[in-house]
Amino acid sequence: MSFRRDYKPLFSIRVVDHNSNAAIEEVVVEPTSQCRKLMQDHQLLAKQRSYGMQVFYSLNPLVAEPLMGAINSRVRLDFKLSLPTDFYQRYLPDVSGDKRLHLCNLDNSGALKAGSAVGLSAGASIAANDALHLVGERFELAISPPVGAASFELRQPFDAAVLNTFDLAELGQGARLEFDLERLESGRYRLSPDNTPAQVTDLFVENEVAGQRCQALISIYVETPQTLAPVAGYQFNARFESR
């Protein structure tokens, strides 16, 4: 069998000034270990750029089915974003000390945002409501149960089904409660008291990133074959407002 590998743009992650649209430099975007494994499985290549990251897919044009490692169902690719030390002196938002940003290309219904150029925040630019608790499988959380609550319930972001229940009697006492999510896959979840399900605490469970100093986690979802991407690839923008 003849073999040749051509690389085509799949997507870029760009960190930009929301007002000027200029790239914010000295940022570092890098895949998590789990993301590297998925990229190998789907024959993807990541390259660091001055604006962030660019990802390519692979073709072998000498065979009948040239696409290598085709994506035919939803895949989540997670990237760590590290910002310069003086970044938050120049840019918003103000993020509380125990939270970090989670940016992604899903809308508020869980569907992929449409278009070839997509913002990674809930609004036009990144705000405090894009932040959540980035935790390992076992963690402590400063959270106060409301009066009458008997447990906390865990759900996926876009599903009302309860995945797990944590009785208050088993969570310890004091200002910080102890949770164990060891049986769950890495990803985003909602935690809420059983008697007040609208009182949501957003979590992202990721052992590797929870123990590191990055300021944000970026999740890029792809669910169709790479050859359906625009010629220049999708452009995903992390847009920060200057102070």
Q: How do 138-142 and 28-31 pair as beta strands? A: unpaired
The string of pLDDT tens digits covering residues 5-36 is 999 999 999 999 999 999 998 899 999 999 99
pLDDT at 43: 98
* Burial readout 132-161 (b: 16 or more C-beta within 10 A, e: otherwise): bbbbebebebebebeeebebbbbbebeeee
Contacts of 51 (CB under 8 A, 6+ apart): 12, 14, 15, 16, 23, 24, 25, 27
Which positions of the chain have pLDDT values less than 50?
A: none
pLDDT at 190: 97
The string of pLDDT tens digits covering residues 212-230 is 889 999 999 999 999 999 9
CA pair distance 72, 53, nearest whole angstrom? 23
Amino acid identity of residue 3, one-letter, is F
Contacts of 160 (CB under 8 A, 6+ apart): none
